[in-house]
Amino acid sequence: MILRSIVFNSIFYFTIFFFGILFLPLLVSKKLTSFAVKFWANLIIFSFEKVIGAEVIYENKYIFKNKGYLIAANHQSAFDTIFFLKKFDKAIYVVKKELKFIPIYGWYAMRLGNIFIDRKERIKSIKNLSEKVWYSLNNNYKVIIFPEGTRQTDNKIGNMKPGIYALQRFCKHQVYPVYIGSSLAWPKNSFIKNNRKVKVKILKPIKCDYTKAEFLNKLQNELQNEHQKTYTI
């Protein structure tokens, strides 16, 4: 897999730079920016499947076009931040504000409408974040948050941070858990990619009638159960 990984990683980094510069004029429009990002995401997922030989299995019975959804996904690799840009009609992420300062990535992330959170100003940031998420949901965006807070390195589901519960309460939107099993095919901080299956499954939404502890436990258990089923096959 070394040669295939070299080819894929070359495509990955070259296209970030090449299309990032080529499509700069499209930043004048959010719609055109979305087109550019979706084009790139399709190219990367296509290359991942064809060059590496990975197989992406997508299961969805709950999320559809032209409607806003609050999505909580586990986070294992860079694949997780690319796939939804390909699959959903209007996808944005809740990410730490430091990412907006990364050249090329930050330019497109800001223009696309990604929501940036300042982890140092928790109370103020959560209120500001909640208002932006509410606005995006009501404009039919799929708002994706990784409630573990970071990518997991040892093939597990991490603990859920309470921010997703605060967002649900403020926005009065049920949360759609999404399980992503990408760590074996696209490991964190690894140059080598593997020709393994990547399962992405939209799980049954969690309603707004739970306490914080109940909600976080349920979200954790739903993702953990799907993880165990996936990695015991």
Tokens 């159960």 belong to residue: 225
Percent above pLDDT 90 for the chain: 77
In the predicted structure, residue 176 carries a pLDDT above the cut 60: yes
Average pLDDT over residues 216-227: 94
CATH topology for 2-231 is Glycerol-3-phosphate (1)-acyltransferase (3.40.1130)
Q: How confident is residue 121, by pLDDT bands cut at 50, 70 and 90?
A: low
Burial class (CB in 10 A: 0-12, 13-18, 19+), 72: buried
Mean of the per-residue pLDDT values of the chain: 91
In the predicted structure, residue 127 carries a pLDDT above the cut 70: yes
Q: How confident is residue 154, by pLDDT bands cut at 50, 70 and 90?
A: low
Average pLDDT over residues 124-139: 88
Q: How confident is residue 209, by pLDDT bands cut at 50, 70 and 90?
A: confident
pLDDT tens-digit series, residues 10-28: 999 999 999 999 999 999 9
SS3 22: helix
From the list 150, 142, 141, 161, the residue with the least C-alpha distance to 215 is 161
Rounded-to-integer distance, Cα 228 and Cα 27, Å: 42
98 CA to centre of own chain = 17
Q: How confident is residue 232, by pLDDT bands cut at 50, 70 and 90?
A: low
pTM: 0.91
Would you state the pLDDT for residue 144? 97
Average pLDDT over residues 144-163: 85
In the predicted structure, residue 40 carries a pLDDT above the cut 60: yes
From the list 181, 86, 170, 189, the residue with the least C-alpha distance to 128 is 170
pLDDT tens-digit series, residues 74-107: 998 999 999 999 999 999 999 888 888 899 999 9
Domain residue ranges of the chain, discontinuous segments joined by +? 2-231
From the list 81, 71, 74, the residue with the least C-alpha distance to 159 is 74
